[in-house]
Amino acid sequence: MSAFLILLRREFIEHRGAFFYAPLILIVILTLLIVSAFVSGHTQFSFYGAGIGGYRLFDAAFLGLGFLWWAYLFLVLFFYFADAFNSDWRNNSMLFWKSMPQSDFRILLSKLVAGLTILPAMIFLAFLLTGIVAAAASLVAPLVLPMLGAPDVPGTVTAWLNISAVAVCYLVLALLWYAPFFAWVGALSTAFGRWSVPLALVIPVLFSLFENSIDFQNAPGGGYLLAFLRQRLSFNFDSRDLQEAAFSNAPIDVGALIGKLVAGVNWPSLLGGLIFAGVVIYIASEYRRRVLKSFA
Amino acid sequence: MTDSASKTTTVPASAAGPLVVARGLKKRFGSREILHGIDFTIPAGRVYGLVGHNGAGKTTTLNAILGLTPCQGSIKVLGVDPFAQRARLMRDVAFISDVASLPRFLVVRDLFRLVAGIHPNFSTARAESLLEGTEVRLGAKIGNLSKGMLAQLHLAVVMAIEAKLLVLDEPTLGLDITFRKRFYRRLIEDYMTPDRTLLITTHQVDEIEFMLTDIMFMRDGSLILDAPMADVGRRYLQLVASPDHFQAARALAPVFEETRFGQTVMVFDGLDREKLEPLGTVSTPTLSDLFVALMQREPTAGVAA
């Protein structure tokens, strides 16, 4: 295994609490809740309009869980970047890592790459497992809720595959889109530790205030900087497309949804963001290379 | 993860020359100069002791050698600039700056796997064999180990690295005497070879005196002594002066004088033993006695060598 993969593995081991054990616990809790609902008979379901198949219920449930997992991932990733880039100092292990033949840039790059690959992959796996739980529930549900019609195993499996395909595409593109923000938090964390959490927001706001103070008349609402950040913070995908797909009677059109996802990405902006991420990580690594905090 | 197949040495071979060469080494923190342009040369196959008070500049000197901090002046370790090429240098240099710096979230087995994966000159088998006979178990979480166990584990890690230079900065700080003795004995018996060099700092200077080939004393960012132990033994003499010879002994300009348990003890630099023997009991000072003596000596230009 290459040294870089070993460094990724190290990040996983260090942060497996948030990215492995916690999702696992959440899945167990969810499963227990569903099982207890069926066992105790505390199930209630109502809908409007024409009849709905079990797998349509699964579509809605799986997509809803997907949004919850995305929110969880975004939150823990933010705190991962605010924590991991400083953890070697905080854990007093900086000198140990510096005794290894790995550059500071390589170490920080491994943290960035881990935060954008294996750690989200863990949450994605949790999402897939949740989907299996939801699929099982939607197959059992018609037995206690006859209005759902007969269980539809092929339809549910197809729906699981379709939604998973759309979700992985969304995840990859969204992570690449938001990579510069995570890198920004990580770079700040290298120098300021957990203060990076407020500083990640305060610094752009201060720059924006400065911009407004010198160019208030001509700037768009809030100033050029805030306008740019607003545009850059919104991943260009209309979630109503997913909602419509989930609640329509037709099966989800994976190709169309992925096509919309890809077409909606501003690729030059995404590429610029990745370059920005690389630059801030390099600057952070130079800081880490030069500053031994315990002696500063 | 291979143990022996991928042993590599990428730093240019400079086996014939010195391992470390520093010239005019200076370090400044803000307006305060910590190192005042020191010069030293460390050849291969030696055991160097670097001794000084807290704040004398020992750790800063070690950090300069290890490429952990940028400095003014010139320093080459194994022929390369350590700050510019630290990652490359660490293939051939191992160090312990703080035994408590091992990553606490890992278990011992994972630590070995991890180091084997990122260090081409690390041998897992050797590390495991070095742990045999200790209380450190492969399945133990590092965060749960006692300080003594941490020291044993960290020593096993660095001793399992095929390094040309091993740097230890206060490696036994906070350990009891049993651990300290075991630590140093293991280092000498299981690690030192004629082509390896060891550089060590400690306040318990008497405990490492037996293993040193060379000694460096630092005071206020300057080297006040850099000499082989054999030369130190020849050059410095300690006299417990007879009461009726105090004035005669003082006339020979001792570098240090103090009263211990009612006896007057003087340390002389570069004086013939024959001149002192009529004045009392003459012996070679221990390193700690010599350290105390030289620390209180008036500063003079240059390094005593």
Read off the tokens for B27.
């370090």
Binding-site residues on chain B for chain A (CB distance < 8 A)? 1, 29, 59-60, 63, 66, 68-70, 86-91, 94-98, 100-106, 110, 113-115, 117-120, 158
Residues facing residue B236 across a β-bridge? B269
Backbone phi, psi, residue B168, to 5°:
-125, 120
CA angle in degrees (0–180, nearest 5) for A148-A152-A158: 125
pLDDT at A294 over 60: no
Of the pLDDT bands very low, low, confident and very high (cuts 50, 70, 90), residue A46 is: low
Of the pLDDT bands very low, low, confident and very high (cuts 50, 70, 90), residue A55 is: low
Mean pLDDT estimate for chain A: 87
CA–CA distances in Å: residue A218 to residues A215, A221, B223? 6, 9, 63
Whole-number Å distance between alpha carbons of B61 and B75: 10
Q: How far is A88 from chain B (nearest CA, A)?
A: 8
The larger pLDDT score, comparing residue A147 to residue A287, is at: A287
pLDDT at B10 over 90: no
Span B88-125, pLDDT tens digits: 999 999 999 876 789 999 999 999 999 999 999 999 99
pLDDT at A254 over 90: no
Whole-number Å distance between alpha carbons of A8 and A102: 13
Q: What is the pLDDT of residue B205?
A: 85
Q: What is the pLDDT of residue B48?
A: 95
Q: What is the pLDDT of residue B14?
A: 44
Contact B71, B25 (CB under 8 A): yes
Q: Which residue of B has its CA nearest to A10?
A: B114
Q: What is the pLDDT of residue A24?
A: 97
Q: Indicate the residue of B101, B120, B158 with minimum beta-carbon distance to A92.
A: B101
Percent of chain A with pLDDT over 90: 55
What radius of gyration, in Å, describes the C-alpha atoms of chain B? Answer: 21
Provide, as residue numbers in chain A, all residues whose Cβ is less than 8 Å from the Cβ of B105: 13-14, 91
**Secondary structure letter of residue B161 according to DSSP:** B
Q: What is the pLDDT of residue A145?
A: 73
Q: What is the pLDDT of residue B15?
A: 47
For residue A215, give the amino acid letter. D
Residues 6+ apart with CB under 8 A from A8: A110, A113, A114, A117, A118
Beta-carbon pairs below 8 A across chains A and B: 80
Q: What is the pLDDT of residue A72?
A: 96
DSSP characters over B206-220:
HHHGGG-SEEEEEET
User: Span A209-224, mean pLDDT?
Assistant: 76
Of the pLDDT bands very low, low, confident and very high (cuts 50, 70, 90), residue A44 is: low
Q: What is the pLDDT of residue B301?
A: 46
Span A176-194, pLDDT tens digits: 999 999 999 999 999 999 8
Interface with chain B: mutation pick from A95, A104, A107, A288, highest number of B CBs within 10 Å: A95
CA–CA distances in Å: residue B4 to residues A16, B122, B235, B254? 31, 8, 45, 55
Span B126-155, pLDDT tens digits: 999 999 888 999 999 999 999 889 988 999
pLDDT at A151 over 90: no
CB contacts under 8 A, A 13-52 vs B, are: 13-14
| Inter-chain CB proximity A99 and B95 less than 8 Å | yes
Of the pLDDT bands very low, low, confident and very high (cuts 50, 70, 90), residue B49 is: very high
Q: Indicate the residue of B94, B105, B114 with minimum beta-carbon distance to A99.
A: B94
| Inter-chain CB proximity B70 and A296 less than 8 Å | no
Residues in chain A: 296
Percent of chain B with pLDDT over 70: 92
Whole-number Å distance between alpha carbons of B193 and A231: 63
The larger pLDDT score, comparing residue A106 to residue A58, is at: A106
Please report which helix (H) or strand (E) contains residue B267, including its range. strand B263-269
A214 touches B at CB < 8 Å? no
Whole-number Å distance between alpha carbons of B240 and B109: 55
User: Span A21-39, mean pLDDT?
Assistant: 92
3-state secondary structure of B21: strand
pLDDT at B289 over 70: yes
- For chain B, the straight-line distance linking the first and the last C-alpha, in angstroms and rounded, comes to 46
- For chain A, the straight-line distance linking the first and the last C-alpha, in angstroms and rounded, comes to 36
- Nearest CA-CA partner of A182 in A79, A264, A296: A79
CA–CA distances in Å: residue B24 to residues A127, B27, B36, B37, B40? 60, 10, 8, 4, 9
Q: What is the pLDDT of residue B70?
A: 93
Q: What is the pLDDT of residue A47?
A: 56
pLDDT at B32 over 60: yes
Q: What is the pLDDT of residue A45?
A: 60
Contact B207, B287 (CB under 8 A): no
Q: What is the pLDDT of residue B238?
A: 93
Contact B57, B34 (CB under 8 A): yes
Of the pLDDT bands very low, low, confident and very high (cuts 50, 70, 90), residue A51 is: low
> Residues A24, A25, A29, A32: is their CA dihedral positive or negative?
positive
The larger pLDDT score, comparing residue B16 to residue A162, is at: A162
- Nearest CA-CA partner of A106 in A5, A185, A175, A192: A5
3-state secondary structure of B39: strand
| Inter-chain CB proximity B87 and A101 less than 8 Å | yes
> What is the ipTM, given to two decimal places?
0.85
3-state secondary structure of B31: coil
Q: What is the pLDDT of residue A8?
A: 97
Read off the tokens for A238.
């209309």
The larger pLDDT score, comparing residue B59 to residue A150, is at: B59
A9 touches B at CB < 8 Å? yes
pLDDT at B9 over 50: no
User: Span B155-160, mean pLDDT?
Assistant: 93
For residue A220, give the amino acid letter. P
Percent of chain A with pLDDT over 70: 86
Q: Which residue has tokens 């020291």?
A: B151
Query: What is this structure's pTM?
Result: 0.87
**Secondary structure letter of residue B143 according to DSSP:** G
Q: Which residue of A has its CA nearest to B143?
A: A91
Provide, as residue numbers in chain B, all residues whose Cβ is less than 8 Å from the Cβ of A19: none
Provide, as residue numbers in chain B, all residues whose Cβ is less than 8 Å from the Cβ of A290: 69-70
Of the pLDDT bands very low, low, confident and very high (cuts 50, 70, 90), residue A59 is: confident
User: Span A200-226, mean pLDDT?
Assistant: 81
Contact B117, B84 (CB under 8 A): no
Whole-number Å distance between alpha carbons of B223 and B236: 17
pLDDT at B3 over 80: no
Read off the tokens for B172.
């036994």
SS3 string of A63-106? HHHHHHHHHHHHHHHHHHHHHHCCHHHHCCCHHHHHCCCCCHHH
Whole-number Å distance between alpha carbons of A70 and B52: 56
Q: What is the pLDDT of residue B192?
A: 85
Residues in chain B: 305
Read off the tokens for B39.
């010069």
Neighbour tally for A189: CB within 10 Å: 28
Q: Which residue of A has its CA nearest to B101?
A: A93
Q: Which residue has tokens 């020359």?
A: B17
